[in-house]
Amino acid sequence: MRIFHTVSGLREVLKACRLKGLRIGFVPTMGNLHEGHLALVEQARSSCDIVVCSIFVNALQFGLNEDWDKYPRTYQVDCDKLRDSGCDYLFHPEDTEMYPNGLDTQSRVICPSMTDVLCGASRPGHFEGVTTVVTKLFNIVQPDEAIFGIKDYQQLAVIRRMVEDLCMPMQITAAPIHREADGLAMSSRNTYITADERPNVVVLKESLEWIAEQIKTGARNFTELETMAIQRIADAGFKTDYITVSNSKTLDPAAEDDLEITILGAIFTRAARLIDNLSINLD
Say how far apart CA 187 and CA 207 lie, in whole Å.
Answer: 19
Instruction: Enumerate the active-site residues.
Output: 37
Phi, psi of 172 (to 5 degrees): -100, 120
Nearest C-alpha neighbor of 248 from the set 221, 222, 279: 279
Calpha distance 192→56 (Å, rounded): 20
Torsion of CA 205, 211, 212, 215, to 10 degrees: 180
Alpha helices, DSSP H only, in the chain?
7-19, 35-47, 75-85, 95-98, 119-122, 126-141, 153-165, 203-216, 222-235
What is the torsion angle, in degrees rounded to the nearest 10, for the CA atoms of residue 23, residue 127, residue 107 and residue 139?
0
Residue 3 to residue 251: CA distance in whole angstroms: 38
**Cα distance between residue 162 and residue 182, in whole Å:** 34
Give the whole-angstrom CA distance, residue 115 versus residue 117. 6
* CA–centroid distance for 272 within its chain: 16
Q: DSSP string covering 162-227, please?
A: HHHHTT--SEEEEEPPPB-TTSPBP-GGGGGS-TTTGGGTTHHHHHHHHHHHHHHTT---HHHHHH
Other CB atoms within a 10 A radius of the CB of residue 25 amount to 28
SS3 90: strand
